[in-house]
Amino acid sequence: MDLRGRAAICGVGEVGPFREASDRTAVELMLEAGRLAMVDAGLEPAEVDGLLVAPLLVGAPVTLPSMLAEYLGLSPTYADIVDLGGATAAGMVWRAAAAVAAGAARAVLCLTGEAVDPESFYTRGVRWPGLPLPEFERPYGPMGANSGYAMIAMRHGYEYGTTDRQRAKVAVDQRQNACANPRALFYGRPITVDDVLESPVIVDPLHLLEIVMPCSGAIAFVVARPEVAREGLHPPVYLLGFGEKVTHSMPSHAPNLTTSAVAYTARRAFEMAGVEPQDIDLVSVYDCYTITVIVTLEDAGFCPKGRGGPFVEEHDLTYRGDFPVNTHGGQLSYGQPGLAGGASHVLEAVYQLRGEAGERQVRDCQLAFVQGNGGIMSEQVSLILGVEP
């Protein structure tokens, strides 16, 4: 389905991020973000007739959409859960747009959020009976996603010569962006390449400062028909193209650990939008680790395959730079509030395209490329968002 210009993001809500959830639950955080998104869209609950919900990492109950719909005062004609790990939020955007284009709903509220439980980080999902991950991977001591991305970085270094310093540059530039985003967890704390390289190696070759920090928070957005969005309180942000592909779950089963499905999803999205990588003003791509950004930039076509390391070294990735990437700080510096971490890239694209990014506003920002990535480069969703339909 060609969804170019068929729907727009017209409301966003952001709660946190917080280092600690204190006594707030994930559900409470998600509901608050949902309320803020509807207020931002200028819509009342009776006008919102679609609901997409992210699962909670700690284990969501069944029928979560109806529970949250009831709480929010919605009676949706379209309700579902989207479970694509870090690609969930980007996956929600095109699903909501497809629902809108199909006439299943006029305005779809999308909810993501988490109240983090650091204790469960490496061990959640241990009880899945009959699924391969706990049986064939956990006995060998993987370190959650950390070891998966470390193995990507190791192989990328072997195949393309990508260095520690090149990966560190991603963390440094994104931290500079976070220093212009008061909401970022690491606001006001700039770092240097040496700081990254001197931080402890957690899983070779990844250093502590190349690894995302789990935290609490929630992000919600409203995707609506263009005529609904145009009556809103802010300029609509149109979906112009998307692509999605799921290639594996365990890293051992990736067709190729150094070339991801972004190569497919980005091409689809660019073709649908009728634009090229060089037309993009803002790159807002999933960054659970530094290597993720490098592989994504290559596979999306912003630089030749294998040249991601030199590319990030040669370009200024800050909001003032020649190639702005993750101007909110990325998850590496904003924080990763569960599946809302992947929503932070959508949210930042909306702020930038609306011209509401404040100090970190990218000049004349018309087109944004967003990438959601789940698991170990397992689930990929590309989006092209723009100010014109």
Partner 1 sequence: MSEREVQERPLPRPTRISAPFWRGAAEGKLLLQRCRRCGLFIYYPRPFCPRCLAEELEWHEASGRGRVYTYTVVRRAATPAFAAMVPYVLAIVELEEGPRLVTNIVGCRPEEVRVEMPVRATFERLSDEVGLVLFRPDGMETDSADPEGQQ
**Contact set for partner 1, span 38-97 (CB under 8 A):** none
Q: Answer yes or no whether residue 161 interacts with partner 1 by CB under 8 A.
A: no
> For partner 1, which residue of 22, 130, 188, 363 counts as binding (CB under 8 A)?
130
Smallest gap from residue 318 Cβ to partner 1 (A): 30
Q: Answer yes or no whether residue 154 interacts with partner 1 by CB under 8 A.
A: yes
Smallest gap from residue 61 Cβ to partner 1 (A): 17
Is 144 or 226 the residue whose CB approaches partner 1 more closely? 144
Is 120 or 163 the residue whose CB approaches partner 1 more closely? 120
Smallest gap from residue 186 Cβ to partner 1 (A): 21
Q: Answer yes or no whether residue 105 interacts with partner 1 by CB under 8 A.
A: no
Q: Count CA atoms closer than 13 A to 115's CA, side-chain side.
A: 13
Is 198 or 314 the residue whose CB approaches partner 1 more closely? 198
**Contact set for partner 1, span 301-330 (CB under 8 A):** none
State the residue for tokens 């520690």: 164
> For partner 1, which residue of 41, 93, 109, 151 counts as binding (CB under 8 A)?
151
Are 33 and 6 in contact by the 8 Å Cβ rule? The answer is no
Q: Answer yes or no whether residue 189 interacts with partner 1 by CB under 8 A.
A: no
> For partner 1, which residue of 73, 132, 182, 304 counts as binding (CB under 8 A)?
132
Q: Answer yes or no whether residue 29 interacts with partner 1 by CB under 8 A.
A: no
Is 124 or 268 the residue whose CB approaches partner 1 more closely? 124
How many other β-carbons are positioned within 10 Å of the β-carbon of residue 97?
26
Q: Which two tokens stand for residue 46?
A: 């009776």
Q: Answer yes or no whether residue 120 interacts with partner 1 by CB under 8 A.
A: yes
> For partner 1, which residue of 19, 25, 60, 124 counts as binding (CB under 8 A)?
124
Q: Answer yes or no whether residue 235 interacts with partner 1 by CB under 8 A.
A: no
Smallest gap from residue 163 Cβ to partner 1 (A): 15
Q: Answer yes or no whether residue 143 interacts with partner 1 by CB under 8 A.
A: yes
**Cα gap 156→20, rounded to integer Å:** 34
List the one residue out of 319, 337, 338 whose CA is nearest residue 329. Answer: 319
Beta bridge partners of 244: 381
How far is it between the farthest Cα atoms of the chain?
56
> For partner 1, which residue of 137, 195, 279, 313 counts as binding (CB under 8 A)?
137
Smallest gap from residue 85 Cβ to partner 1 (A): 18
Q: Which two tokens stand for residue 164?
A: 């520690």
Q: Answer yes or no whether residue 127 interacts with partner 1 by CB under 8 A.
A: yes
Is 207 or 315 the residue whose CB approaches partner 1 more closely? 207
> For partner 1, which residue of 150, 170, 263, 288 counts as binding (CB under 8 A)?
150
**Cα gap 191→171, rounded to integer Å:** 8
Q: Answer yes or no whether residue 140 interacts with partner 1 by CB under 8 A.
A: yes
Smallest gap from residue 199 Cβ to partner 1 (A): 12
Q: Answer yes or no whether residue 152 interacts with partner 1 by CB under 8 A.
A: yes
Smallest gap from residue 200 Cβ to partner 1 (A): 8
> For partner 1, which residue of 71, 138, 231, 271 counts as binding (CB under 8 A)?
138
Smallest gap from residue 250 Cβ to partner 1 (A): 7
**What are the residues binding partner 1 (CB under 8 A)?**
120, 122-124, 126-127, 129-130, 132, 134-144, 147, 150-152, 154-155, 158, 200-206, 250-253, 257
